[in-house]
Structure 1
Amino acid sequence: MQLQVLSFVLFLHCMEYTDSQQHASRHRQHTQTPGLNQGCEGGCLTCSDFNGCLSCKPRLFIYLERNGMSQIGVCMSSCPNGYYGTRSPEINKCTKCKSDCDSCFNRNFCTRCKAGHYLHRGKCQESCPEGLVPSATQRECVLGCAGDCDSCVNSDTCTRCREGLYLLYGKCHRACPEDYEPSEQLMACTPQVHCEVSEWGEWSPCSRRGKTCGFKRGEETRVRKILQAPSALGNPCGPTSETRKCVVKRKKCPGRRRGERRLRNGRKQEAQRNWRERERESTDHEDAENRNKTEHRRSRGQDRDLTSQAGGNTH
């Protein structure tokens, strides 16, 4: 037991000595080359207080990480996206991919493209060659449209579906989802449109057979307008008019007697006009008959005179 305690004490003394020697070595190095730090941490082999890692341990890549306006060296086991690793006897470093590459194997072979470009044979292109369509999710050129598509802009987005299927947001459906309905004309799922109506208007005056007076029981009506007509499967519109019974205090219509009096006076005047016309026609008829009689008598008198003259001449 005592031997173990003694061994532990000796180990602590050795650690303290090692730390003191390393501290002294760093102090000497700083004194000799300001800014250079040989006691680097992480994967650095040599480093600087200002520039980070200057070289890395074997098999690690040095990567220049931007820090504001400056760059700091960092040692990594693999390079980040947008960079690829190159090895040489002098230094292993991370080199930036081409501008349209998101990740690459080397400068001339991309493994994934940035948005808006599509991978084909290690190259990033804005459009795919004939026979291939772009896949927005995979960011690469793939064979043809999806199985339900009749035409498409890429493998993920249809523009027209096969017969019997309906298009919705670039996908083909056998039955439209909830709140959508099939359009046979467009062969697509369209949003259902439900009926919208205005508020009820005021009740009309109580009336009966078009009159608002001269009765006790009648009806009054109110209406509302259709603001949005429904689609084929949308919620239909309710009634746009309502009628209910109403009761009013029985009263005579104002001006009714005056109107009746005017009607009677009008009829009387018309009768008088008719009577005068008949009298005038009768007088004219009598005058005509009298004239005819007078002319007839005059004609007979002339005949007698002629007869008398003829008889005298004979004697």
Structure 2
Amino acid sequence: MQLQVLSFVLFLHCMEYTDSQQHASRHRQHKQTPGLSPGCQGGCLTCSDYNGCLSCKPKLFIFLERNGMRQIGVCLSSCPNGYFGTRTPEINKCTKCKSDCDSCFNRNFCTRCKAGYYLHRGKCQESCPEGLVPSNTQRECVLDCAGECETCLNTDTCTRCRPGLYLLHGKCHYVCPEDFEPNEQRMECTPQVHCEVGEWSEWSPCSRRGKTCGFKRGEETRTREILQAPSAHGDPCPATSETRKCVVKRKKCPGRRRGERRHRNNRKESQDSWQEREKEREVGDREDAENRNKTEHRRSRGQDRDLTSPAGGTAH
């Protein structure tokens, strides 16, 4: 009997505790509701301390994150991977894809499968139908392409080649055909681009050391522009400038000052006087040489007379 009374008392205490906890929870929930408390964050329309967002602002999706034994509501502009968004007049929410889907458009249409499954017509399958082969990189059932194709539109048309090959018109090539060159980034054969140049310009005036007169022979130049630069394997550009010898039509420069002409005349006169002095010196040297020769000749004649005179004769 005492045990029954004790049990009844404990039951009443438990009921009172439960009622107080529920009242406190309702009080917290009521306190966090917009209009009563400005504490909601991150796009929440209504929220609570225990469960986070209870509803979201327009156009946002509510997403439930698990935190231990409870779920926390957050509001997102788009659903995370593995979920799809549904909109209704009452609520916009994120719904989980099927277990074999990595991402999906809706519950019945997958866009990418999890590892070990292959996508075919929106479904994830462990094996592919006849005529298709599984692609581990794409996680899809793809056509059984030719040996040189990695992906193909059909058995005769490749869309991507295996490593080391270049795609051209649906076929894979080890070496690009003539008039095509390999594009290493796109792994395709692209058309070669050859250099194109414009017409030659007119020949420049005949000049020499930056002058166009005062000389007889000089040089003249002409140029042309590059209209199209070549690709890596295209024909290179020819020379864009040419130079040739020329003969000036007017040797004398017009408009020379009198001072320049006088200086030129003085320089010519000084050169002439120097030449005259040289000639005079040469004439003087010749005269001196002749006088010396004459003096020596007279001396030799005088010696000869002395030897033949009576005073200088021999005794008989």
TM-score normalised according to structure 2 size: 0.39
TM-score normalised according to structure 1 size: 0.39
